[in-house]
């Protein structure tokens, strides 16, 4: 389908039909003019490095599920297209439109206990299906779970697979955390720390979703109440990596057990797959001692007495040490050797046949030596001696012979049964040994990958430079520990100008930068719909008193991924106060060079000018860089301004297109 054909078939208005978006694209509701239906279209600009290599494309997300069959709890894309335009290369992925919203909305609207349990079970089945097909999601959260209402039944569908490609090509049980973490408050500890991942990273996210589903509140939040700030993000980070999990007793008992198996900091001790959790849901699990949170702490643990029934490879606690140990596996997809089984069955059949044979007839009252000799027999040897002495014509020869044959058959059956049991035991021991060796090998690979990641992190720390999500940063030794990016968003070199963004918008514009194209107005500066504390400027008297960009509206996070943010006013001032800065030229581009007073590291900000309704202005003579702070006494936003003779903070109309230089925390 050509680009012209695509936009003729699918029609939508970006300013009106936007229904969601994030770091991996924006989603619009569109009309399919061929099939006369509504669809959802995800649009994302293809990001590339200086040498032309793609850093992200929706094609990755589309291909992550290309080999996965249809499932009632997974929302698959139907079609994928990529088109070149003067503004860049853009991907378009088409899927069914779900008007009932996502799980976030459903939780806020209220659900019955039955609906909650049904949703939890369906989600677990969807996760299990993904893992069976070697796909790990890595960004599970209520906002990425669409819902369909069918009467009183609610069907959840997992969507948004922007982080899933690496799992699709994983070789083994651990794989690179190449895209970084997903949404922080639902991310596993290993995601947040940039460590190699296992498939059960999704189970941690599932545990956090379960808590929110059954209690209506988020499991991990900032206690200070300062939402969407660097301080709040760090507070949530510390709670997760330290396993600060509490309040699970608010959940129904059965689902509390499931959450406990998920929310274990050590991924090697966490539930390994969704099948184990489904066992708890169905009531056929073997209760074990579970440590919720860090394995080195006794706080937040729940213990229970081991069940007497077998678990077939489930973990069970040792009575002596309390450590989790392994029972011999009995997995149906790994059959044991059948040789011992056939021997045992044959022996059992032989014993059953012998039970049908006639017993020796009741011996008559002794009246002659033949009968007296027969009556005196006690052992097989006695009966054989009787048969030799009296011959085949003896009165009781047939009975004696039947007794001897039955005894021999019974002995043979017992011997075969013992042999079968011995072989079965040997097979079980061999299976247990093989499993232990496999786990040891897996653990060694995990530790090696972990050590490599730590070594890389240490090397970056020592050098004062590093990368995150494919973008370089430099450590200027600032008091707050803030790390500054070396390039603007949209640039591949420090001196490149990069892209321009209106304040609070996460995409560049094809049209002019003015109030009639600004995202958070109804067409004029007097009708703000977000980030407003003065009803005179708000639409119909609207105010929300938001003074700092939320993560979802931060161009740095949306374009560079989790961890990157637009600097606050305070961070810009810290940069100025702790560096020497001068107007200079770098590779033919004018701008300001900020050099650390502490370690000599520096960052260069080019004079990129700004975009307005009349086009690009002051290119090469002035620099305008947004902060994520709104000005306290106006509708404008704080920014850093510099020219050849000054460098200062100011505030300006948020509708204009300024540069963004991202930062991140250590």
Is the CB of residue 489 less than 8 Å from the CB of residue 662?
A: yes
Domain assignment present for 334: no
As a whole number, mean pLDDT of residues 462-489 equals: 92
Is the CB of residue 591 less than 8 Å from the CB of residue 606?
A: yes
Cα gap 363→417, rounded to integer Å: 32
Task: Judge if 89 and 115 occupy the same domain.
Answer: no
pLDDT given at position 166? 40
- Residue 245 CA, chain-centre distance (Å), reads 18
pLDDT band at 93 (very low <50, low <70, confident <90, very high): confident
Q: How many domains does the chain have?
A: 4
Is the CB of residue 262 less than 8 Å from the CB of residue 204?
A: yes
Task: Judge if 656 and 551 occupy the same domain.
Answer: yes
CATH of the domain at 218: 1.10.510.10
Task: Judge if 59 and 192 occupy the same domain.
Answer: no
**Eight-state DSSP code of residue 359:** P
Rg over alpha carbons for the chain, rounded to the nearest Å, is 35
Q: Measure the CA dihedral 232/235/241/245, to 10°.
A: -100
pLDDT digits (tens, 9 = 90+) for 416-474: 777 766 776 777 677 667 656 655 665 566 556 556 656 666 666 666 888 888 899 99
pLDDT given at position 156? 94
**Of 21-35, 45-59, 195-209, 346-360, minimum mean pLDDT range:** 346-360
Is the CB of residue 514 less than 8 Å from the CB of residue 521?
A: no
Is the CB of residue 536 less than 8 Å from the CB of residue 526?
A: yes
Task: Judge if 119 and 264 occupy the same domain.
Answer: yes
pLDDT given at position 480? 95
311: CB partners within 8 A, 6+ apart: 285, 286, 327
Task: Judge if 378 and 442 occupy the same domain.
Answer: yes
pLDDT given at position 342? 45
Task: Judge if 343 and 301 occupy the same domain.
Answer: no
pLDDT digits (tens, 9 = 90+) for 554-597: 999 999 998 999 999 999 999 999 999 999 999 999 999 999 99
| Burial readout 210-244 (b: 16 or more C-beta within 10 A, e: otherwise) | bbbbbeeebbbebeeeeebbbebbebbbebbbebb
Provide the token pair at 615.
């086009």
Q: Measure the CA dihedral 107/109/113/118, to 10°.
A: -60
Task: Judge if 239 and 356 occupy the same domain.
Answer: no
For the purposes of burial, counting CB atoms within 10 Å of the CB of 70, is it exposed (0-12), middle (13-18) or buried (19 or more)?
A: exposed
The boundaries of the domain holding residue 92 are 3-96
User: Which element (helix H / strand E) includes 94?
Assistant: strand 88-96
Is the CB of residue 519 less than 8 Å from the CB of residue 504?
A: yes
Domain assignment present for 455: no
Is the CB of residue 455 less than 8 Å from the CB of residue 636?
A: no
Domain boundary among 96, 129, 157: 96
SS3 284: coil
Residue where the block lists tokens 């139907």 = 78
Is the CB of residue 228 less than 8 Å from the CB of residue 548?
A: yes
pLDDT digits (tens, 9 = 90+) for 341-382: 444 445 445 444 444 445 454 544 445 888 888 988 988 889
Strand partners, 10: 32
Higher pLDDT, 620 or 18: 620
Query: Catalytic residues, which ones?
Result: 139
Domain assignment present for 332: no
Within 10 angstroms of residue 80's Cβ, the number of other Cβ atoms is: 18
CATH of the domain at 58: 3.30.200.20
Cα gap 442→401, rounded to integer Å: 61
pLDDT given at position 615? 86
Task: Judge if 408 and 383 occupy the same domain.
Answer: yes
Across the chain, mean pLDDT equals: 80
Cα gap 145→123, rounded to integer Å: 9
pLDDT for residue 609 is more than 60 = yes
As a whole number, mean pLDDT of residues 33-37 equals: 90
Higher pLDDT, 199 or 225: 199
Residue where the block lists tokens 């013992």 = 418
pLDDT given at position 335? 40
Report yes or no on whether pTM surpasses 0.85. no
Cα gap 12→25, rounded to integer Å: 16
Domain assignment present for 333: no
Provide the token pair at 329.
């596996």
**Eight-state DSSP code of residue 515:** G
pLDDT digits (tens, 9 = 90+) for 626-642: 999 999 888 899 999 99
DSSP E strands, 256-341: 290-291, 301-302, 315-317, 324-326
SS3 147: strand
pLDDT for residue 78 is more than 70 = yes
pLDDT for residue 145 is more than 80 = yes
């Amino acid at each position: 389908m050509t680009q012209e054909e695509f936009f003729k078939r699918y029609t939508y208005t970006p300013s009106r039909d936007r229904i969601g978006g994030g770091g991996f694209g924006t989603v619009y509701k569109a009309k399919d003019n061929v099939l006369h239906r509504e669809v959802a279209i995800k649009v994302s600009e293809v990001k590339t490095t200086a040498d032309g290599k793609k850093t992200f494309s929706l094609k990755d997300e589309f291909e992550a599920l290309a080999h996965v069959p249809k499932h009632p709890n997974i929302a698959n894309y139907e079609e994928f297209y990529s088109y070149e335009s003067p503004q860049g290369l853009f991907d378009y992925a088409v899927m069914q439109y779900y008007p009932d919203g996502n799980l976030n909305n459903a939780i806020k609207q209220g659900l019955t206990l039955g609906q909650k349990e049904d949703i939890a079970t369906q989600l677990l089945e969807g996760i299990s299906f993904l893992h069976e097909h070697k796909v790990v999601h890595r960004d599970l959260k209520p906002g990425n779970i669409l819902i369909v209402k069918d009467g009183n039944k609610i069907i959840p569908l997992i969507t948004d697979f922007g982080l899933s490609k690496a799992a699709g090509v994983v070789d083994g049980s651990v794989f690179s955390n190449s895209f970084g973490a997903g949404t922080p408050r639902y991310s596993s500890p290993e995601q947040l720390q940039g460590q190699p991942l296992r498939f059960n990273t999704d189970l941690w996210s599932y545990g956090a979703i379960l808590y929110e589903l059954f209690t209506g509140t988020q499991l991990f939040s900032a206690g200070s109440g300062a939402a969407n700030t660097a301080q709040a993000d760090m507070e949530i980070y510390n709670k997760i990596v330290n396993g600060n999990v509490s309040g699970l007793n608010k959940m129904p008992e059965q689902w509390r057990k499931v959450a406990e198996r998920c929310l274990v900091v050590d991924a090697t001790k966490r539930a390994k797959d969704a099948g184990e959790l489904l066992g708890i849901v169905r009531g056929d699990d073997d209760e074990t001692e579970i440590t919720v949170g860090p394995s080195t702490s006794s706080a937040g643990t729940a213990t229970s007495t081991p069940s007497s029934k077998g678990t077939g490879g489930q973990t069970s606690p040792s009575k002596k040490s309390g450590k989790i140990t392994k029972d011999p596996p009995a997995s149906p997809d790994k059959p044991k050797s059948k040789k011992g089984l056939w021997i045992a069955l044959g022996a059992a059949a032989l014993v059953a046949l012998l039970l049908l044979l006639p017993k020796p007839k009741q011996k008559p009252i002794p009246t002659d030596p033949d009968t007296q000799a027969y009556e005196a027999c006690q052992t097989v040897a006695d009966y054989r001696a009787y048969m030799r002495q009296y011959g085949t014509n003896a009165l009781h020869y047939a009975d004696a012979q039947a007794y001897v044959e039955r005894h021999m058959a019974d002995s043979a059956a017992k011997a075969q049964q013992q042999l079968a049991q011995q072989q079965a035991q040997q097979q079980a021991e061999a299976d247990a040994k093989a499993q232990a060796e496999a786990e040891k090998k897996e653990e060694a690979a995990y530790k090696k990958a972990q050590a490599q990641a730590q070594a890389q992190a240490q090397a970056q720390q020592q050098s004062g430079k590093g990368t995150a999500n494919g973008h370089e940063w430099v450590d200027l030794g600032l008091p707050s520990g803030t790390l500054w990016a070396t390039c603007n968003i949209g640039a591949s070199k420090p001196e490149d100008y990069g892209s321009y963004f209106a304040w609070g918008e996460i995409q560049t514009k094809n049209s002019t930068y003015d109030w009639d194209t600004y995202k958070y107005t109804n067409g004029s500066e007097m009708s703000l719909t977000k980030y407003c504390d003065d009803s005179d400027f708000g639409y119909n008297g609207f105010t929300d008193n938001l003074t700092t960009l939320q993560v979802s509206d931060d161009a740095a996070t949306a374009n560079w991924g989790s961890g990157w943010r637009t600097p606050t006013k305070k961070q810009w001032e810290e940069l100025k106060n702790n560096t020497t800065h001068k107007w200079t030229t770098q590779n033919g581009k004018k701008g300001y060079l900020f050099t650390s007073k502490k370690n000599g590291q520096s960052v260069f900000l080019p004079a990129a000018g700004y975009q307005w309704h009349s086009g690009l202005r002051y290119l090469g003579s002035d620099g305008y860089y947004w902060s994520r702070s709104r000005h306290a006494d106006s509708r404008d936003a704080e920014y850093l301004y510099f020219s050849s003779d000054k460098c200062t903070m100011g505030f300006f109309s948020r509708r204009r297109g300024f540069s963004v230089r991202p930062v991140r925390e250590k």
